[in-house]
Amino acid sequence: MTTVSPINKQSNELTAHKEEHADHRLFGLITFLIADGMTFAGFFAAYLTFKAVNPLLPDAVYELELPLPTLNTILLLVSSATFHKAGKALEKSNSKKCQYWLLITASLGIAFLISQMFEYFTLPFGLTDNLYASTFYALTGFHGLHVTLGAIMICIVWWQSRSPGGRVTASNRFPLEAAELYWHFVDGIWVVLFIILYLL
Amino acid sequence: MSISLPPSTKNNIEKLQPTGWLRYFSFSLDHKVIGIQYLVCGFIFYLIGGLLAGAIRIELTSPISDFMPREVYNQVLTLHGTIMIFLWIVPVVNGAFGNYLIPFYVGARDMAFPRLNAVAFWLIPPAGLLLISSYFINGAAQSGWTAYPPLSITTPAAGQIIWIISVLLLGGSSIFGGINFIATILKLRRPGLKLMQLPMYCWAMLGTSILVVLSTPVLAGTLILLSFDIVAHTGFFNPSLGGNVIVYQHLFWFYSHPAVYIMVLPAFGLVSEILPVHSRKPLFGYTTMVYSIMAIVALGLVVWAHHMFTSGTPPWMRLFFTIATAFIAVPTGIKFFNWVATLWGGRISLNSAILFSCGFIVNFVLGGITGVALAQVPFDVHVHDTYFVVAHFHYIVYGGSVFVIFSSIYHWYPKFTGKMLNEKIGKLHFAITFIGFNLCFAPQHWLGLNGMPRRVAEYDPQFAFVNQLSSIGALLMALSTLPFLWNVLYSIFKGEESGDNPWKALTPEWLTTSPPPVENWIGEAPLVTEPYGYGEKQARKASSKPNSDQ
């Protein structure tokens, strides 16, 4: 590594200049989420164009069942609320309560994934059946990947917010805030996806 | 400005001054080291891409396909385009100069996220090696840098998939860099420094980074869908499976038109730094320059379909995109006139840096005019996919961006190394490059207007003579690299000492030692509110406030 690490590290961690600079990591994360949102925007645009320009043959059109995805929507929206609760608990240095809410959030996320998987197995079409099927799996799959990553992040934050020895504390809330922001973003994307894919 | 130090800190800083070339091969977090890493790595890929270009020009000296098989020709032109765009121009005009200069310009000690910065750089060499290695595995991608389906689906899959992975890595690197630049420029400014006091390159990088963050992810998503088509045989872009190739083109150009601005906006910024210094005049029309950069960013996102006028686009779409594209000429023209007005009446020192900048202005206005012509549907339909487009594109990215890269190297070399480059060799380099470039690409306008299609190894024998002219130009361009390389390598060791500020420039990066200390500034960063206060303005300011010094 470099010979300059001691002095460099300080300015990189932004601890040496904390009085001058606020922490910019959240700003960077928001910029990243805008970029990530553009990926989804591209997928949505592709899906809507396919739908408008390349209508399927009548026998290939399949009406999606709504109950399961509606349940999924509720799961994710509730998990956003429980994550918020966890954040509030951490602000008050109540790490027990924080861990409790984080665990619920993670469970809701995993429940979403299981339910999604269940939907995949019960659908009458596969990835390569037709254009609609491919787009359906690409969109929900890419979103599911985001949920998976989010669930892993929540588990890490949960482990790190344990009361003695955890790194996520009331004075170091960034990991939790970042994961929370990401999780809200993934939920928001799901709502758009739900409307476009299932309701339209 | 003199820099004095209390003795205790001086000792400390000297001890921390990085020495040795090994740090350029490390996961260094220093933005200056990362900038040089980008520059040197990019230049190596430029040489590789240049060899490929040479192979293309050798093939095209004769009308028949004799130098290499057609498949190899397709691979060579695909690799040439991809390497030059994603591994040379984008990383160098953004990554190299951006990383080196932006922290100085905002008065910071490093970028906002140094680790992310290092990650962004270290994605590039593996991605580049991966791309080149695909040639030796089963043949590289053959579908051009655009990878249009169904061509990209039907050509051999291995090369195409490696191409996609490589471009995804480079896109990731570009997005990380963009996030870093936005955060650094908006959040890391020295207290007291206002946005409208920043050097123009900061504005160019802010605009470019906005484009990177908004458009690169769309390309990434599109390429993921394309890889599904190739590997899993889905039918997103495969008409025989009910897919739609036009959707690919829309999504691709939603990134790849802004990509042209990602390559050329930072070059605009760099030229705006170089011209005032060497003509000893303030940058003309700072405010209009800022607004025109932002106008180019906004318009640049809504003109992509002018690449698709022959793809069966409906008339309303053609009309909209023609008008939007023509509008871009307005802010670009403003910038052009601002540069000319900056030079006008200045005390110009005709050195290599300003020669390359002026070469840029000339080439860019030629490329810009053909660009406006290409935006007109009737003309575009006639010359689409001909050498006219090749000529236009190279006037923008070589005559534009690459000339600026050379200009910037001549301008900032003393900053990087503390040594001057040899001016005589520099001028020779400029002369050969300028003549070679124009000899290579100007005749291609004629070829295109007369109907020679691009991306084909064989052509009508009537075009042979003009193609040979073009190849001689390419040979000159190749030769021009030699004096440059010799100059750069020789001057590191034996170059004349430059001192801290050889150009007597006022922009902040020159207000420290050359090469700069690890922490960029010795003590506090200077507050530079007038980075272009040269000449008259400086004099007027001094005379209007006669008592301020007392």
pLDDT at A35 over 50: yes
For the whole model, what pTM was predicted? Answer: 0.91
Torsion angle (degrees, nearest 10) of CA B255, B258, B262, B267 = 160
The third-level CATH classification (topology) of the domain covering A25-52+66-199 is: Four Helix Bundle (Hemerythrin (Met), subunit A) (1.20.120)
B24 inside domain: no
Q: Do A36 and B216 touch (CB under 8 A)?
A: no
B262 inside domain: yes
B123 inside domain: yes
Residue B461 region by backbone torsions, left for phi larger than 0, else alpha for psi between -120 and 50, else beta: alpha
Other residues' Cβ atoms within 10 Å of the Cβ of residue B220: 21
| Both tokens assigned to B223 | 């390429």
pLDDT band at A60 (very low <50, low <70, confident <90, very high): low
d(CA A185, CA A39): 13
Asked if residue B526 lies in contact with residue B26, where contact means CB atoms within 8 angstroms, the answer is no
Report which of B106, B94, B89 is spatially closest to residue B43, judged by C-alpha positions: B89
Residue of A nearest to B253 (CA): A42
Question: Number of residue pairs across A and B with CB atoms under 8 Å?
Answer: 146
> What are the φ/ψ torsions at residue B386 (nearest 5 degrees)?
-110, 180
Other residues' Cβ atoms within 10 Å of the Cβ of residue B295: 18
Give contacts of A49 with chain B, Cβ < 8 Å. Answer: 244, 247, 250
Q: How many domains does chain B have?
A: 1
Q: Do A127 and B242 touch (CB under 8 A)?
A: no
* In chain A, residues 70-99 whose CB comes closer than 8 Å to chain B: none
At CB < 8 A and 24+ separation, what contacts does B63-72 make? B63/B458, B63/B459, B63/B460, B63/B461, B63/B463, B63/B464, B63/B467, B64/B458, B65/B457, B65/B458, B68/B457, B70/B457, B71/B139, B71/B142, B72/B139
- What pLDDT does residue A22 have? 60
- pLDDT in single tens digits along all 550 residues of chain B: 344 444 444 444 444 445 567 788 888 889 999 999 999 999 999 999 999 999 999 999 999 989 999 999 999 999 999 999 999 999 999 999 999 999 999 999 999 999 999 999 999 999 999 999 999 988 899 999 999 999 999 999 999 999 999 999 999 999 999 999 999 999 999 989 999 999 999 999 999 999 999 999 999 999 999 999 999 999 899 988 888 999 999 999 999 999 999 999 999 999 999 999 999 999 999 999 999 999 999 999 999 999 999 998 899 999 999 999 999 999 999 999 999 999 998 999 999 999 999 999 999 999 999 999 999 999 999 999 999 999 999 999 999 999 999 999 999 999 999 999 999 999 999 999 999 999 999 999 999 999 999 999 999 999 999 999 999 999 999 999 999 999 999 999 999 999 899 999 999 999 999 899 888 888 888 898 889 988 755 545 544 444 444 3
Which element (helix H / strand E) includes A5?
helix A5-13
> What are the φ/ψ torsions at residue A172 (nearest 5 degrees)?
-125, 75
B136 inside domain: yes
Give contacts of B26 with chain A, Cβ < 8 Å. Answer: 1-2
Residue of B nearest to A30 (CA): B179
Burial class (CB in 10 A: 0-12, 13-18, 19+), B539: exposed
* In chain A, residues 18-37 whose CB comes closer than 8 Å to chain B: 20-22, 24-25, 27-28, 31-32, 34-37
Quote the minimal CA–CA distance from A101 to chain B in Å: 31
- For residue B538, the enclosing domain spans 29-286+294-547
B527 inside domain: yes
The CATH code of the domain that includes B516 is: 1.20.210.10
B129 inside domain: yes
The partner residue sitting opposite B247, judged by closest CB among A49, A127, A130, is A49
Quote the minimal CA–CA distance from A36 to chain B in Å: 7
B426 inside domain: yes
| Both tokens assigned to B341 | 């007005």
d(CA B145, CA B80): 8
B18 inside domain: no
Q: Do B183 and A24 touch (CB under 8 A)?
A: yes
